[in-house]
Structure 1
């Protein structure tokens, strides 16, 4: 059998230079410095978070994160006055409003922003608590108050990125006690309340989700296991989300497991927000001739 060495030489002349180019490109790509980590992105941001107890749980999880390959996590500080200056790489926080009175949280957040806090923050948001919602809550009326307030804040403070947060959920009562309550026609803990919370959250997702505006979906995170399995219950033939029991010791607040899971996602979300806008230079005052 005669082997065509001329053909092999011609193929080698074409293939070897191409392989060399691929190798050089790969080496150059490998030498390119990596993208900034989440913590590095947060180092330039000044963030304010208004909350009550579950928000405190989330920040407790953030505080547990020490320096790592990601870098140094942002500092968590309590806000003293709305006029204080915040340093980059800081998450400032404060209790806003009163539990069970969600309208007071909207008003308090507006007050803080308008009193000077918007001038020293790049990102600002607050969250309602699960206890703000009960079986009688008018979710559409509350959402409309929230929407109008946020539109006003965005118009008055265009250099601040305002974030929306879904309402946290609770676990639902299950087992023999829940069955007995249902039999007696008594309310089962968490069932009707989570329906109201999820109804409000659906309004948030419709208005701000899908990339329209920044939305941190705390409820979806709380109602999904680390393996991606949703925690749900049935009511009148419809499925509703509930908090994963492993994330809480009392059915509403985040335990150490829940704090760790939410805190990681929380910081990752904040790191995706746009970089702070550069402030325009102040024009020099012209001397009067």
Structure 2
């Protein structure tokens, strides 16, 4: 093989291996949002995202607005929609998310749903199968898997569900927002358990389940980390943001306005965000390195071109 063919082949192998080997995860170890470059935050906010949630999701939204109020130039999120769907039960939540995705998939690049701590009887297999069906039906969309929020005590069932989600996400390279890990580790990274199961750090909640100002800020930082990763940022030194994907409906300016009211960070939980009112098809997100992050999305044109060049060089050598 020629020197050119060898070098290109090594680049292709490296990019492909790095893309598939590194899963995307937000947990208690990924809350230092100050290290995220502005370009990566811009790519993240360009993504149109929806999150199906109830009260704890509202806490996270409050944390997002706290960050945006402190620094809108970095933490405004005009294209992210918090879809408040209440607490109809764990199975209706899964079914309603499927219906929501079917009806609104053209408006979003990233679609997420979370359970609440009251859903401690949720069935992992039912959740897993629904998520896999959505991924199959909508291959250009990115779906984020979630652990279940926990309380300061009584988490045996939640712990079992969360362990199953973590194991499956890790083994199958699924983007994972691990809210339970964020809630169960203190600021130094030390875990808290109660009765042998992970438990909410008491300093993060005023009632044992919902997030106070400290807890919601941690969760909001985790959301920014997740979205920056989905937008193409590699904290290990790869891509620094890229353009990300966005719905053709576009988005409002920094600090956007929802139809339900104006917030420092974008959509309020009661309104329709700029992403929610756009009807155009969504595009997939990428990264500056040209490699797929975590194996999500189609190979970039850059990578495909390198592959063809490598093959051509090898062919010339053999001929």
Q: CA deviation at 1:253?
A: 0.2
How much does 1:93 deviate? 1.6
Instruction: For residue 49 of structure 2, give the secondary structure of its aligned residue in structure 1.
Output: strand
Contact 1:38/1:268 (CA < 8 Å) preserved in 2? no
Q: How far apart, in 2, do the equivalents of 1:210 and 1:57 lie?
A: 30
Question: What is residue 45 of structure 1 aligned with on the other side?
Answer: 47
TM-score by length of 1: 0.65
Tell me the equivalent position of 1:229.
190
Query: What RMSD in Å do the two structures reach over aligned CA positions?
Result: 2.2
1:105–1:230: structure 2 CA closer, same or farther, 3 Å change rule? same
Q: Residue 269 of structure 1: CA displacement?
A: 1.7
**Alignment partner of 1:164 is 2:121:** no
What displacement does 1:144 show? 1.2
Instruction: Tell me if the contact between 2:53 and 2:115 (Cα under 8 Å) persists in the aligned partners.
Output: yes
Uncovered stretches (5+) of structure 2, i.e. residues with no partner? 1-35, 233-243, 246-282, 286-319
Q: 1:266 to 1:108 in 2, by over 3 A?
A: same
Measure, in 2, the Cα distance between the counterparts of 1:161 and 1:267: 15
**Aligned pair in 2 of structure 1 residues 206, 67: CA closer, same or farther (>3 Å)?**
same
Higher Cα Rg, which structure: 1
Which structure 1 residue ranges, 5 or more long, are not aligned?
A: 1-33, 76-88, 173-189, 280-289
Q: 3-state SS of the aligned residue for 1:131?
A: coil
Alpha-carbon deviation of 1:52?
0.6
Residues 151 and 278 from structure 1, CA distance in 2 versus in 1: closer, same or farther, beyond 3 angstroms?
closer
Name which structure has the greater RCO, CA cutoff 8 Å, separation 6+. Answer: 2
TM-score (norm 2): 0.59
Q: Which residue of 2 aligns with 1:95?
A: 84
Answer yes or no: is the 8 Å Cα contact 2:109–2:284 preserved in 1.
Answer: no
Aligned partner of 1:109 among 74, 93, 97 = 97
In the TM superposition, 1:1-289 aligns within 5 A as 35-66=37-68, 71-75=73-77, 89-96=78-85, 98-99=87-88, 101-115=89-103, 117-133=104-120, 137=121, 142-172=123-153, 190=154, 194-209=155-170, 212-234=173-195, 239-273=196-230, 274=232, 275-276=244-245, 277=283
Deviation at 1:120, TM superposition (A): 1.1
Shift, 1:97, TM fit: 5.6
- Aligned partners of 1:254, 1:159: CA distance in 2, in Å? 33
Are the counterparts in 1 of residues 68 and 76 from structure 2 also a CA contact under 8 Å?
A: no
